Structure 1
Protein backbone atom coordinates (compact mmCIF):
# COMPACT_ATOMS: atom_id res chain seq x y z
CA UNK A 1 0.00 0.00 0.00
CA UNK A 2 1.34 3.39 -0.90
CA UNK A 3 1.86 6.19 1.57
CA UNK A 4 -1.06 8.20 0.09
CA UNK A 5 -3.41 5.20 0.29
CA UNK A 6 -2.33 4.53 3.86
CA UNK A 7 -2.90 8.17 4.81
CA UNK A 8 -6.33 8.14 3.12
CA UNK A 9 -7.25 4.94 4.99
CA UNK A 10 -6.18 6.55 8.30
CA UNK A 11 -8.20 9.71 7.62
CA UNK A 12 -11.25 7.70 6.58
CA UNK A 13 -11.08 5.70 9.80
CA UNK A 14 -10.76 8.89 11.86
CA UNK A 15 -13.77 10.42 10.07
CA UNK A 16 -15.87 7.31 10.69
CA UNK A 17 -14.87 7.35 14.37
CA UNK A 18 -15.62 11.08 14.78
CA UNK A 19 -18.96 10.74 13.00
CA UNK A 20 -19.97 7.82 15.24
CA UNK A 21 -18.84 9.75 18.30
CA UNK A 22 -20.95 12.80 17.38
CA UNK A 23 -23.94 10.60 16.63
CA UNK A 24 -23.59 8.83 19.98
CA UNK A 25 -23.25 12.12 21.85
CA UNK A 26 -26.40 13.47 20.20
CA UNK A 27 -28.29 10.28 20.99
CA UNK A 28 -27.10 10.36 24.62
CA UNK A 29 -28.05 14.02 24.94
CA UNK A 30 -31.55 13.39 23.58
CA UNK A 31 -32.00 10.41 25.90
CA UNK A 32 -30.79 12.45 28.88
CA UNK A 33 -33.22 15.26 28.08
CA UNK A 34 -36.12 12.84 27.77
CA UNK A 35 -35.27 11.16 31.08
CA UNK A 36 -34.86 14.52 32.82
CA UNK A 37 -38.17 15.77 31.48
CA UNK A 38 -39.97 12.61 32.58
CA UNK A 39 -38.44 12.82 36.05
CA UNK A 40 -39.35 16.52 36.34
CA UNK A 41 -42.94 15.85 35.29
CA UNK A 42 -43.27 13.00 37.79
CA UNK A 43 -41.90 15.16 40.61
CA UNK A 44 -44.19 18.03 39.62
CA UNK A 45 -47.24 15.78 39.59
CA UNK A 46 -46.34 14.32 42.98
CA UNK A 47 -45.85 17.79 44.48
CA UNK A 48 -49.10 19.07 42.97
CA UNK A 49 -50.99 16.04 44.25
CA UNK A 50 -49.57 16.48 47.75
CA UNK A 51 -50.48 20.17 47.79
CA UNK A 52 -53.97 19.41 46.49
CA UNK A 53 -54.53 16.76 49.12
CA UNK A 54 -53.30 19.09 51.87
CA UNK A 55 -55.62 21.84 50.66
CA UNK A 56 -58.52 19.39 50.52
CA UNK A 57 -57.82 18.21 54.06
CA UNK A 58 -57.69 21.81 55.24
CA UNK A 59 -60.98 22.66 53.55
CA UNK A 60 -62.60 19.65 55.17
CA UNK A 61 -61.27 20.72 58.58
CA UNK A 62 -62.76 24.19 58.05
CA UNK A 63 -66.11 22.73 57.00
CA UNK A 64 -66.11 20.46 60.04
CA UNK A 65 -65.14 23.34 62.33
CA UNK A 66 -68.00 25.42 60.94
CA UNK A 67 -70.47 22.60 61.57
CA UNK A 68 -69.13 22.12 65.10
CA UNK A 69 -69.40 25.87 65.76
CA UNK A 70 -73.00 25.87 64.54
CA UNK A 71 -73.68 22.97 66.94
CA UNK A 72 -72.43 25.15 69.79
CA UNK A 73 -69.32 23.16 70.67
CA UNK A 74 -66.57 24.96 72.60
CA UNK A 75 -63.69 26.32 70.54
CA UNK A 76 -61.15 24.10 72.33
CA UNK A 77 -63.13 20.98 71.38
CA UNK A 78 -63.47 22.18 67.79
CA UNK A 79 -59.70 22.71 67.62
CA UNK A 80 -59.08 19.26 69.04
CA UNK A 81 -61.50 17.62 66.61
CA UNK A 82 -60.36 19.43 63.46
CA UNK A 83 -56.65 20.03 63.99
CA UNK A 84 -57.13 23.77 63.52
CA UNK A 85 -55.70 26.08 66.17
CA UNK A 86 -57.95 27.92 68.61
CA UNK A 87 -56.67 31.17 67.11
CA UNK A 88 -57.65 30.08 63.61
CA UNK A 89 -61.14 29.18 64.76
CA UNK A 90 -61.71 32.31 66.84
CA UNK A 91 -60.32 34.72 64.22
CA UNK A 92 -61.81 33.04 61.17
CA UNK A 93 -64.60 34.70 59.23
CA UNK A 94 -65.27 31.28 57.70
CA UNK A 95 -66.90 30.07 60.85
CA UNK A 96 -69.03 33.20 61.06
CA UNK A 97 -70.34 32.90 57.53
CA UNK A 98 -68.75 36.05 56.06
CA UNK A 99 -65.89 34.88 53.87
CA UNK A 100 -64.40 31.82 52.29
CA UNK A 101 -61.91 29.11 53.16
CA UNK A 102 -59.06 31.33 52.00
CA UNK A 103 -59.51 33.75 54.89
CA UNK A 104 -58.02 31.20 57.30
CA UNK A 105 -55.01 30.89 55.03
CA UNK A 106 -54.56 34.66 55.12
CA UNK A 107 -54.92 34.91 58.90
CA UNK A 108 -52.47 32.10 59.60
CA UNK A 109 -50.02 33.01 56.86
CA UNK A 110 -50.43 29.66 55.13
CA UNK A 111 -50.50 29.71 51.35
CA UNK A 112 -50.15 27.34 48.44
CA UNK A 113 -47.16 29.08 46.87
CA UNK A 114 -44.49 27.26 48.89
Structure 2
Protein backbone atom coordinates (compact mmCIF):
# COMPACT_ATOMS: atom_id res chain seq x y z
CA UNK A 1 0.00 0.00 0.00
CA UNK A 2 2.77 2.42 0.84
CA UNK A 3 4.49 1.69 -2.47
CA UNK A 4 1.19 2.59 -4.13
CA UNK A 5 1.20 5.95 -2.38
CA UNK A 6 4.69 6.59 -3.77
CA UNK A 7 3.51 5.87 -7.31
CA UNK A 8 0.47 8.08 -6.87
CA UNK A 9 2.60 10.89 -5.48
CA UNK A 10 4.99 10.75 -8.45
CA UNK A 11 2.08 10.93 -10.87
CA UNK A 12 0.55 13.78 -8.85
CA UNK A 13 3.80 15.77 -9.12
CA UNK A 14 4.00 15.31 -12.89
CA UNK A 15 3.38 18.46 -14.87
CA UNK A 16 1.30 16.44 -17.34
CA UNK A 17 -1.32 15.57 -14.73
CA UNK A 18 -4.54 17.58 -15.03
CA UNK A 19 -6.14 19.19 -11.96
CA UNK A 20 -9.04 16.71 -12.10
CA UNK A 21 -6.62 13.76 -12.04
CA UNK A 22 -4.63 15.39 -9.24
CA UNK A 23 -7.77 15.50 -7.12
CA UNK A 24 -8.48 11.82 -7.82
CA UNK A 25 -4.85 10.89 -7.12
CA UNK A 26 -4.93 12.71 -3.78
CA UNK A 27 -8.08 10.82 -2.82
CA UNK A 28 -6.49 7.49 -3.81
CA UNK A 29 -3.30 8.30 -1.88
CA UNK A 30 -5.35 9.06 1.24
CA UNK A 31 -7.30 5.81 0.80
CA UNK A 32 -4.09 3.77 0.35
CA UNK A 33 -2.57 5.35 3.45
CA UNK A 34 -5.68 4.57 5.51
CA UNK A 35 -5.59 0.95 4.31
CA UNK A 36 -1.90 0.67 5.19
CA UNK A 37 -2.63 1.97 8.70
CA UNK A 38 -5.49 -0.54 9.10
CA UNK A 39 -3.35 -3.45 7.92
CA UNK A 40 -0.50 -2.45 10.25
CA UNK A 41 -3.00 -2.07 13.10
CA UNK A 42 -4.53 -5.51 12.51
CA UNK A 43 -1.10 -7.13 12.42
CA UNK A 44 -0.06 -5.32 15.62
CA UNK A 45 -3.26 -6.29 17.46
CA UNK A 46 -2.86 -9.90 16.32
CA UNK A 47 0.75 -9.87 17.58
CA UNK A 48 -0.46 -8.67 20.99
CA UNK A 49 -3.19 -11.33 21.10
CA UNK A 50 -0.76 -14.11 20.15
CA UNK A 51 1.72 -12.96 22.76
CA UNK A 52 -0.95 -13.20 25.48
CA UNK A 53 -2.09 -16.64 24.27
CA UNK A 54 1.43 -18.08 24.29
CA UNK A 55 2.23 -17.39 27.95
CA UNK A 56 4.64 -20.33 28.27
CA UNK A 57 6.88 -18.90 25.51
CA UNK A 58 6.72 -15.42 27.00
CA UNK A 59 10.46 -15.02 27.62
CA UNK A 60 11.42 -16.13 24.12
CA UNK A 61 8.81 -13.86 22.50
CA UNK A 62 9.86 -10.88 24.59
CA UNK A 63 13.29 -11.03 22.96
CA UNK A 64 11.94 -11.36 19.41
CA UNK A 65 10.50 -8.54 17.37
CA UNK A 66 6.83 -8.91 16.53
CA UNK A 67 5.64 -9.20 12.96
CA UNK A 68 4.48 -5.57 12.98
CA UNK A 69 7.89 -4.38 14.22
CA UNK A 70 9.66 -6.38 11.51
CA UNK A 71 7.42 -4.88 8.84
CA UNK A 72 8.12 -1.34 10.02
CA UNK A 73 11.82 -1.65 10.76
CA UNK A 74 13.21 -4.47 8.59
CA UNK A 75 10.93 -4.48 5.56
CA UNK A 76 11.07 -0.76 4.89
CA UNK A 77 7.56 0.43 5.77
CA UNK A 78 8.95 3.12 8.03
CA UNK A 79 11.68 4.07 5.54
CA UNK A 80 9.15 4.40 2.70
CA UNK A 81 6.82 6.50 4.83
CA UNK A 82 9.67 8.82 5.79
CA UNK A 83 11.01 9.00 2.23
CA UNK A 84 7.59 9.93 0.83
CA UNK A 85 6.83 12.23 3.78
CA UNK A 86 3.63 10.30 4.46
CA UNK A 87 2.90 12.07 7.75
CA UNK A 88 -0.56 10.52 8.02
CA UNK A 89 1.00 7.06 8.31
CA UNK A 90 3.89 8.20 10.51
CA UNK A 91 1.60 10.02 12.95
CA UNK A 92 -0.94 7.21 13.26
CA UNK A 93 -1.44 5.81 16.77
CA UNK A 94 -0.57 2.30 15.61
CA UNK A 95 2.83 3.27 14.20
CA UNK A 96 3.61 5.32 17.30
CA UNK A 97 2.67 2.39 19.57
CA UNK A 98 4.79 -0.07 17.60
CA UNK A 99 7.83 2.20 17.63
CA UNK A 100 7.45 3.06 21.31
CA UNK A 101 7.07 -0.64 22.18
CA UNK A 102 10.07 -1.49 20.00
CA UNK A 103 12.39 1.13 21.49
CA UNK A 104 11.13 1.39 25.07
CA UNK A 105 9.66 -2.09 25.59
CA UNK A 106 6.24 -0.72 26.50
CA UNK A 107 3.43 1.20 24.83
CA UNK A 108 3.55 3.94 27.46
CA UNK A 109 6.46 6.13 28.42
CA UNK A 110 6.48 8.13 31.65
CA UNK A 111 2.84 7.23 32.28
CA UNK A 112 1.66 8.50 28.88
CA UNK A 113 0.11 6.00 26.53
CA UNK A 114 0.95 6.77 22.93
Indicate the TM-score class for this superposition, using the shorter chain for normalisation: 0.3 to 0.5
Q: Determine which structure has the larger helix proportion and give its number.
A: 1
Scaled by the length of structure 1, what TM-score is found? 0.42
Structure possessing the higher relative contact order (Cα contacts under 8 Å, 6 or more residues apart): 2
